[in-house]
């Protein structure tokens, strides 16, 4: 029920903004997934063995100790790593059936071949929204509004929303003359929250980047003022990134949204991002609760060129863990039953079954306790499920056409007709 509360809150916000639901298969071809998530991301893809005698299909001469070469021979499918890449494939496949810009949401599980830990799972749900076929930055603004709406609806109001732009990061690489090592730089910066400044510097050294260049990268990473980026980097493609961020922040300011901040260390190591990137965190919890960004030509990898998209993904399982830690789940969230009818015997059960059927038709969430157990056990069941009312039906009640209604919170009991019962429960 708690997980559904997260799903329902996300879904309500998505639909309010005009997003339509789709689903994609759990498995994709390895070709579809690989090469989209960076070197480290590709290592976490769950490969699926080919059917049958998969080892018989390994070509002669294949080095059995070379895991990558062997994998290509024994696996041509994989479990989806995220929902964005399969979505891009879906758009290409259905390009003649959908209207652009296409706004979709998707709530489905994804898989990572990761070591389970706090905030890290092998299987988890993502709640994705994307709009594709539009380059307007109003889409980024809308996504940030939805992020605030979802987390406010979930009771998580003290969140940190960070934004950056991959164009700025590309400008840093350009200014430093390491365009060919852009991925190395981004991968290192993406670990800033985990390993800190010195850790990032060490990661860059491992990639044989000079100390002068590392110093320049760290100088950029400590510059949180957008107006100073140009001064620091000179005329580079970062200028366009700064312009885009200022436009989005300006729109948010006009809407009195003040919890979105520029973070120069935000990098998002996934390869397909090209513009504004977004990440949501809370204190004392590892990993982001929501993240995403702009991708200008992801569909081009599948044959549909020049179709820009942007989206974010809410990590339902991480959100669940944070909400549980902070105790912000609604107290009655697990309550689905309004009334439980106690079962005192065969005749009472038959009477109760007919009654509970009529109550459900009237819109009441009701259930009949199936066994003629002791009253203590029946009441314990109702307490455990936070059922507010218990209906007691014995021979006297059946003769009078009434029900003894017990309020489990107060202990009060009253004799009511069926009509009165429905009115109480639907009040």
Show the domains of the chain with their CATH numbers: 339-425 (3.40.50.800)
Q: Give CA–CA dist 295/62, Å, rounded.
A: 36
Angle at 374 between CA 370 and CA 376, to 5 degrees: 105
pLDDT of 58 reads 66
Q: Residues near 396 by Cβ (< 8 Å), separated by ≥ 6?
A: none
What six digits make up the tokens of 315? 């990590």
Q: What is the CA radius of gyration of the chain?
A: 28
Longest dimension (CA), the chain: 92
Ranges of beta strands (E only) in 238-383 are 260-262, 276-281, 290-295, 309-315, 339-341, 366-368
pLDDT in tens, the chain (427 residues): 889 999 999 999 999 999 999 999 999 999 999 888 877 788 899 888 877 666 666 666 565 565 666 777 777 899 999 999 999 999 999 999 999 999 999 999 999 988 888 878 899 999 999 999 999 999 999 999 999 999 999 999 889 999 999 999 999 999 999 999 998 999 899 889 889 999 999 999 999 999 999 999 999 999 989 999 988 888 888 999 999 999 999 999 999 999 999 999 999 878 899 999 999 999 888 889 999 999 998 999 999 999 999 999 999 999 999 999 999 988 767 667 899 999 888 899 999 999 999 999 999 999 999 988 788 898 999 988 889 999 999 888 899 999 999 999 999 999 999 999 999 988 7
pLDDT of 322 reads 95
Question: If residue 247 lies in a helix (H) or strand (E), which one and from where to where?
Answer: helix 238-254
What six digits make up the tokens of 321? 């863990």
pLDDT of 65 reads 62
pLDDT of 231 reads 86
pLDDT of 69 reads 64
Give counts: helices (H), strands (E), the chain: 17, 16
Query: In angstroms, what CA-CA distances link 332 with 280, 329, 382, 383?
Result: 27, 9, 13, 12
- Of 273, 1, 309, nearest in space to 133 by CA: 309
- Of 289, 287, 315, nearest in space to 124 by CA: 315
Spatial strand order in the sheet of 77-79: 27-29, 77-79, 47-48
Main-chain dihedrals φ then ψ at residue 109, nearest 5 degrees: -80, 155
pLDDT of 226 reads 93
pLDDT of 63 reads 59
- Of 163, 176, 178, nearest in space to 268 by CA: 163
- Of 408, 405, 407, 425, nearest in space to 416 by CA: 405
pLDDT of 249 reads 96
pLDDT of 323 reads 94
Query: Which residue has 């018989």 as its token pair?
Result: 56
């Amino acid at each position: 029920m708690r997980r559904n509360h997260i799903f329902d809150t996300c879904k309500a916000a998505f639909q309010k903004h005009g997003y339509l639901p789709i689903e994609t298969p759990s498995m994709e071809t390895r070709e579809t997934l690989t090469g989209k998530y960076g070197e480290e991301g590709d290592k976490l893809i769950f490969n699926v063995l080919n059917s049958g005698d998969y080892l018989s299909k390994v070509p002669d001469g294949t080095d059995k100790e070379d895991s990558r070469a062997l994998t290509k021979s024994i696996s041509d499918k994989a479990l989806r790593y995220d929902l964005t890449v399969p979505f891009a494939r879906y758009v290409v496949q259905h390009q003649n059936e959908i209207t652009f810009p296409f706004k979709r949401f998707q709530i489905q599980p994804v898989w990572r071949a990761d070591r389970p830990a706090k905030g890290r799972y092998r299987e988890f749900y993502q709640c994705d929204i994307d709009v594709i076929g539009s380059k307007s930055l109003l889409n980024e603004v809308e996504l940030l509004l939805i992020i605030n709406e979802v987390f406010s609806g979930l009771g998580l109001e003290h969140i940190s929303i960070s934004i950056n732009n991959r164009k700025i990061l590309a400008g840093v690489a350009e200014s430093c003359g390491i365009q060919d090592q852009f991925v190395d730089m981004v991968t290192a910066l993406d670990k800033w929250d985990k390993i800190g400044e010195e850790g990032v510097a060490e990661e860059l050294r491992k990639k044989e980047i000079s100390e002068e260049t590392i110093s320049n990268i760290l100088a950029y990473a400590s510059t949180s003022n957008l107006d100073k980026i140009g001064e620091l980097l000179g005329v580079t493609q970062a200028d366009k990134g700064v312009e885009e961020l200022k436009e989005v922040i300006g729109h948010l300011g006009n809407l009195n949204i003040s919890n979105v901040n520029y973070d120069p260390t935000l990098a998002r190591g996934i390869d397909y991002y090209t513009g504004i990137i977004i990440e949501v965190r809370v204190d004392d919890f590892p990993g982001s609760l929501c993240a995403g960004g702009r991708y200008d030509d992801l569909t081009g990898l599948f044959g549909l060129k020049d179709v820009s998209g942007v989206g974010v993904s809410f990590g339902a399982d991480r959100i669940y863990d944070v909400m549980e830690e902070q105790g912000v789940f609604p107290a009655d969230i697990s309550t689905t039953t309004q009334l439980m009818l106690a079962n005192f015997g065969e005749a009472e059960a038959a009477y109760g079954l007919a009654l509970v059927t009529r109550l459900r038709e009237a819109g009441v969430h009701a259930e009949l306790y199936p066994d003629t157990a002791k009253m203590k056990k029946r009441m314990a069941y109702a307490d455990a499920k936070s059922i507010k009312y218990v209906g007691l039906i014995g021979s006297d009640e059946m003769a009078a056409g009434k029900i003894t209604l017990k309020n489990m919170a107060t202990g009060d009991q009253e004799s009511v007709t069926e009509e009165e019962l429905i009115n109480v429960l639907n009040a």
